[in-house]
């Protein structure tokens, strides 16, 4: 009999298992594939290894702007893929040893919830029943296949790829069509553009980057147009046939011939074939309904990570898993969804937290919105010959509280946690003025900006 059974060993599940076991709960983690989930095996970490190789290759190609020239720089894509596989392998085994050290038990297999009785929850894995007092569901999400004729056949022919298959592609496609200009689409477009594919992004909306601030999305768009990526905005893919993507824009139907297609039109919670109905866990559009404490509609059943459909980010999943464990331990804890940062690892990087210009308008908030060029930073100028990065600070009119902060430019991914802290702790722009920032850094523009509000 376990205190806690966790289904799914991605960021939500493995982190929760470690915390729970560390705090004395007899914990069982069930994972059907590989520890680390999508993030480690076919998402965040693999893409970052690829993008880092592309960045070095770009440095080699464009070093001339900084007085450094390279002859015959080349990128070996299959080496990059092999290196990625080694990194993933070593991180997966790192998670296994961390869990072992914490004394969390891990079993490999698909879990099915049979029901609950006086012993608690009964979970079947490979024909054996395990019982637990509490249940934490962290089964993550899977790529959505849009209802477009020809997609199924395209996937079967290896012409249409998801985030999983594209990360193992051994050869560089001459041309790549990316359906969906969201986070996955843009990061992959960035990599394949850098290493020489002709990339076309087909996006249904009239802007890229989904929910990111419109002004920042526009700067990112212009950067990638300059790098040679073609965009079809306001364009909806309607069919896939042979080596052709058919899309419709403004009533006009066009065709694009391409070697490969990446389908990146969003993800949906993985709640199928789990047996949720056996314990009355309610879902909405396929995602498990949870409150800010991670509780589901069923007593003693918690859910964390992509499966709740709230944020679909690995770092939110970590926090949600911890919150669930704390509440199980009797320590009241909740997730503050207002200060979750998000990052797109393009070059330039994009990072943001809190309200955007668009969300302020939508919600009718009384706010001040200011944009500052990153050229206020000496370091930014030293390192970016022709950079057009900005930081955008959004403050509440009455209080001066910082409620949104968005950056496009170097180190954005590393800087943004500071802004998450400002928003999470309700700092006013006057408070930020009094903090000493290191010099010379790009993040100094945030402090400088707070004097210009
Ligand atoms: P997404 O939701 O970010 O973007 C999907 C895009 O596809 C949207 O812009 C949508 O308008 C467009 N679209 C939908 N149907 C279309 C059609 N028929 N034709 C053309 N465009 C269409 O989803 P994405 O990129 O697949 O990412 C999935 C999840 O993974 C996201 O929730 C994201 O947060 C997460 N992720 C996070 C990363 C990060 O934090 N850096 C990296 C990669 C993924």
At residue 232, the 3 state secondary structure works out as strand
Q: 29 vs 16, 208, 297, 330, CA distance in Å?
A: 9, 38, 22, 21
Mutate to test the pocket of ligand 1, among 184, 235, 408 (most ligand atoms within 8 A of CB): 184
End-to-end CA distance of the chain: 58
At residue 452, the pLDDT reads: 97
Residue of 361, 341, 366, 344 whose CA lies nearest to 416: 341
Residue with the smallest CA separation from ligand 1 atom 41 is 344
pLDDT in tens, 104-137: 999 999 999 999 999 899 999 999 999 999 999 9
Q: 368 vs 336, 371, 397, CA distance in Å?
A: 23, 10, 6
Residue of 428, 395, 317 whose CA lies nearest to 14: 317
Q: With a 6 A CB cut-off, is 234 part of the ligand 1 pocket?
A: no
Rounded (10°) CA dihedral 422, 391, 357, 267: -80
Residue of 400, 398, 416, 406 whose CA lies nearest to 453: 400
Q: With a 6 A CB cut-off, is 316 part of the ligand 1 pocket?
A: no
Q: Are 242 and 272 within 8 A, CB to CB?
A: no
At residue 60, the pLDDT reads: 94
Instruction: Say how many Å lie between the CA of residue 184 and the centre of ligand 1.
Output: 6
Residues in Cβ contact with 139 at an 8 Å cutoff, skipping those fewer than 6 apart: 7, 8, 269, 270, 271, 274, 305, 307
pLDDT in tens, 153-203: 999 999 999 999 999 999 999 999 999 999 999 999 999 999 999 999 999
Angle between helices 44-62 and 183-194 (to 10 degrees): 40
pLDDT higher than threshold 90 for residue 375: yes
pLDDT higher than threshold 90 for residue 242: no
At 39, the pLDDT band (50, 70, 90 cuts) reads: very high
At residue 132, the pLDDT reads: 98
Mutate to test the pocket of ligand 1, among 206, 265, 414 (most ligand atoms within 8 A of CB): 265
413-433 in b/e form (b: 16+ CB < 10 A) is: bebbbbbbebbbeebbbeebe
Q: Are 39 and 10 within 8 A, CB to CB?
A: yes
% of the chain residues with pLDDT over 90: 99
pLDDT in tens, 64-86: 999 999 999 999 999 999 999 99
Active-site residue numbers? 439
At residue 119, the pLDDT reads: 84
Q: Which residue has the tokens 């891990």?
A: 106
Instruction: Say how many Å lie between the CA of residue 265 and the centre of ligand 1.
Output: 5
Q: With a 6 A CB cut-off, is 132 part of the ligand 1 pocket?
A: no
| Calpha distance 284→286 (Å, rounded) | 5
% of the chain residues with pLDDT over 70: 100
| Calpha distance 48→53 (Å, rounded) | 9
Q: Are 420 and 440 within 8 A, CB to CB?
A: no
**Rounded mean pLDDT, 423-440:** 98
Which helix (H) or strand (E) covers residue 19, if one does? Answer: helix 11-22
**Rounded mean pLDDT, 428-432:** 98
pLDDT higher than threshold 90 for residue 377: yes
Q: With a 6 A CB cut-off, is 146 part of the ligand 1 pocket?
A: yes
Mean pLDDT across the chain: 97
Q: How many helices (H) and strands (E) does the chain have?
A: 14, 24
**Rounded mean pLDDT, 224-247:** 97
Q: With a 6 A CB cut-off, is 449 part of the ligand 1 pocket?
A: no
Q: Are 18 and 9 within 8 A, CB to CB?
A: no
| Calpha distance 277→274 (Å, rounded) | 8
Mutate to test the pocket of ligand 1, among 40, 183, 305 (most ligand atoms within 8 A of CB): 183
The minimum-distance atom of ligand 1 relative to the CA of 313 is 34
Q: With a 6 A CB cut-off, is 205 part of the ligand 1 pocket?
A: yes
At 149, the pLDDT band (50, 70, 90 cuts) reads: very high
Is the whole model's pTM more than 0.85, yes or no? yes
Tokens of 359: 């969300």
DSSP 124: E
Residue with the smallest CA separation from ligand 1 atom 28 is 266
**Rounded mean pLDDT, 238-258:** 96
At 316, the pLDDT band (50, 70, 90 cuts) reads: very high
């Amino acid at each position: 009999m376990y205190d806690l059974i966790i289904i799914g060993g991605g960021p939500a599940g493995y982190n929760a298992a470690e915390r729970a076991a560390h705090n004395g709960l007899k914990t069982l983690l069930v994972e059907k594939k590989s520890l680390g989930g999508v993030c480690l095996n076919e998402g965040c970490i693999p893409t970052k290894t690829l993008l880092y190789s592309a960045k070095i290759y770009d440095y080699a190609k464009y070093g001339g702007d900084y007085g450094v020239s390279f002859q015959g720089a080349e990128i070996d894509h299959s080496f990059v893929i092999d290196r990625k596989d080694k990194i993933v392998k070593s991180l997966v085994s790192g998670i296994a040893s961390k869990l072992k050290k914490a004394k969390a038990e891990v079993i490999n297999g698909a879990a099915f919830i049979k029901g609950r009785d006086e012993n608690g929850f009964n979970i079947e894995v490979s024909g054996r029943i395990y019982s637990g007092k509490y249940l934490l569901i962290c089964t993550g999400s899977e790529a959505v296949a849009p209802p477009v004729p020809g997609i199924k056949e395209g996937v079967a022919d290896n012409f249409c790829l998801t985030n999983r298959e594209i990360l193992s592609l051994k050869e560089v496609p001459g041309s790549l069509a990316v359906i969906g200009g969201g986070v996955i689409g843009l990061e992959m477009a960035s990599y394949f553009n850098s290493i020489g594919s002709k990339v076309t992004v087909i996006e249904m909306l009239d802007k890229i980057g989904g929910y990111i601030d419109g002004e920042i999305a526009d700067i990112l768009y212009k950067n990638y147009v300059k790098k040679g990526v073609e965009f079809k905005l306001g364009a909806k893919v309607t069919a896939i046939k042979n080596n052709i993507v058919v899309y419709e824009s403004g009533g006009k139907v066009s065709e694009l011939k391409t070697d490969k297609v990446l389908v990146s039109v969003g993800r949906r919670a993985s709640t199928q074939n789990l047996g949720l109905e056996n314990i009355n866990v309610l879902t909405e559009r396929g995602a498990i309904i949870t409150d800010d404490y991670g509780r589901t509609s069923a007593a003693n059943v918690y859910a964390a990570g992509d499966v709740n459909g709230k944020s679909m980010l690995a770092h939110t999943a970590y926090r949600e898993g911890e919150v669930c464990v704390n509440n199980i331990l009797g320590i009241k804890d909740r997730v503050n969804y207002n200060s979750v940062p998000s990052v797109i690892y393009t070059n330039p990087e994009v990072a943001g937290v809190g309200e955007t210009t668009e969300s302020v308008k939508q919600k009718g908030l009384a706010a001040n919105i200011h944009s500052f060029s990153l050229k206020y930073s000496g370091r930014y100028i030293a390192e970016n010959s022709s950079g057009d990065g900005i930081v955008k600070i959004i403050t509440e009119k009455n209080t001066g509280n910082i409620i949104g902060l968005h950056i496009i430019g170097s180190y954005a991914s590393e800087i943004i946690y500071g802004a998450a802290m400002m928003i999470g702790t309700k700092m006013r722009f006057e408070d930020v003025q009094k903090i000493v920032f290191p010099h010379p850094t790009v993040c100094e523009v945030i402090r400088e900006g707070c004097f210009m509000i």
